[in-house]
Structure 1
């Protein structure tokens, strides 16, 4: 009996787990495309782009010190788990004048993780408002040009999310005030979009080898 139990643990359970997660990706399919063709980041000759990257996009606003908790939540729950994947970046858009505060934030985040894929870009208030409006979400920027929500942009510059979320219906973004939202929903959705691109890459490589 003991040998049988050990065999089940060593061989059967991993197979069951694999099939479960594999079927999960197939059954849930892709994240819904909620907004197509979001304009590229072109201001200030900025070298950071949406195209060919999976992007987590956020807006920290004028009062960066008040958004440190949000940044730390995102860093611990999402960034640290996924930042080593290629073509994955976190882009935070802020108004001019917040550069020094951002440097302080980066120093604090660097104590907890490699911050090389945290990208901070600066522009004027109207450009920030236009960029946010182009997302087409059901949320709005606060008066300080911030929002606690972050958004997933795919490599084709489409906003991805959930069209049938059990609580929100259409879910455009993820609330960084809520550890539960990051743990229970955003983590799953990042896994799905990464799996989607990994499967596409494997398919392309397989087709080339034929």
Structure 2
């Protein structure tokens, strides 16, 4: 009996533990797709696209000064943490006329971090609304075409979020006015999406070397 017990501890338990954790990666290692086929950016004089990028999408609107705090929260809590990932980017949509204010904001952000992957995209109200509506969320865009919420868009133009959030049920976006929302939820969700692509890249590289 003693030998049998030792064999179980040495050989069977590690296998069970491996299967348990492997199952955990499969079950919990992906962030749900909430909306597919997000409207792609098609902006004159801009090469910024959602396709093949992991994008944090925001809508600063025409009242840029009123959302500086949101931008700084995102810069400190999300951007600085993840911006070195190759295909990661921030895209902020604004209506024409907000160029000067956004330039000032970007210069202020640049004093705190390398802002190469902060993209400010300007378009007509109609096209901004079209992109926002393609997300198909329960969140409304303000009259100034802005929102405190930001959204995670994957490389295949799909909105990622939570289907069983303890506070919101289905969680489409993250409130950049609330540091707690960024710290307690968004950081984890962005980590998951980035990990998905890292694992996929490693798998592809391994298959090429076979």
Under TM normalisation by the shorter chain, which class is it? 0.7 to 0.9
Match of 1:3 in 2: none
TM-score by length of 2: 0.87
Q: Name the CA distance, whole Å, in 2 between partners of 1:53 and 1:103.
A: 23
Q: Name the CA distance, whole Å, in 2 between partners of 1:101 and 1:69.
A: 14
Map 1:144-183 → 2, pairs under 5 A: 144-183=144-183
Q: Name the CA distance, whole Å, in 1 between partners of 2:145 and 2:41.
A: 17
Are positions 1:88 and 2:76 aligned together? no
Query: How far is 1:29 from its partner?
Result: 2.3
**Gaps spanning 5+ residues in structure 2: where?**
1-20
CA contact (8 A) 2:39 2:130 kept: no
Match of 1:99 in 2: 99
**Gaps spanning 5+ residues in structure 1: where?**
1-20
Match of 1:122 in 2: 122
Are positions 1:109 and 2:114 aligned together? no
What's the CA shift string for 1:140-178, capped at 9, x where partnerless?
A: 101110000000000000000011111111000000000
SS in 1 for 2:108: helix
Query: How far is 1:23 from its partner?
Result: 7.8
Query: How far is 1:43 from its partner?
Result: 2.4
Q: Pick closer, same or farther for the CA change 1:174–1:72 going to 2, 3 Å.
A: same
Query: How far is 1:28 from its partner?
Result: 1.4
SS in 2 for 1:44: coil
Match of 2:15 in 1: none
What's the CA shift string for 1:60-108, capped at 9, x where partnerless?
A: 0001000000000000000000001100000000000000001100110
Map 1:31-110 → 2, pairs under 5 A: 31-110=31-110
Match of 2:191 in 1: 191
Q: Pick closer, same or farther for the CA change 1:23–1:30 going to 2, 3 Å.
A: same
Match of 1:15 in 2: none
Rg comparison, structure with higher value = 2
SS in 2 for 1:138: coil
Query: How far is 1:39 from its partner?
Result: 1.9
Match of 1:202 in 2: 202
Q: Name the CA distance, whole Å, in 2 between partners of 1:143 and 1:22.
A: 47
SS in 2 for 1:147: strand
Match of 2:5 in 1: none
CA contact (8 A) 2:41 2:50 kept: yes
Q: Which runs of 4+ in 1 moved over 6 A?
A: 21-24
SS in 1 for 2:49: coil
Query: How far is 1:25 from its partner?
Result: 4.6
SS in 2 for 1:43: coil
Q: Pick closer, same or farther for the CA change 1:203–1:109 going to 2, 3 Å.
A: same
TM-score by length of 1: 0.87
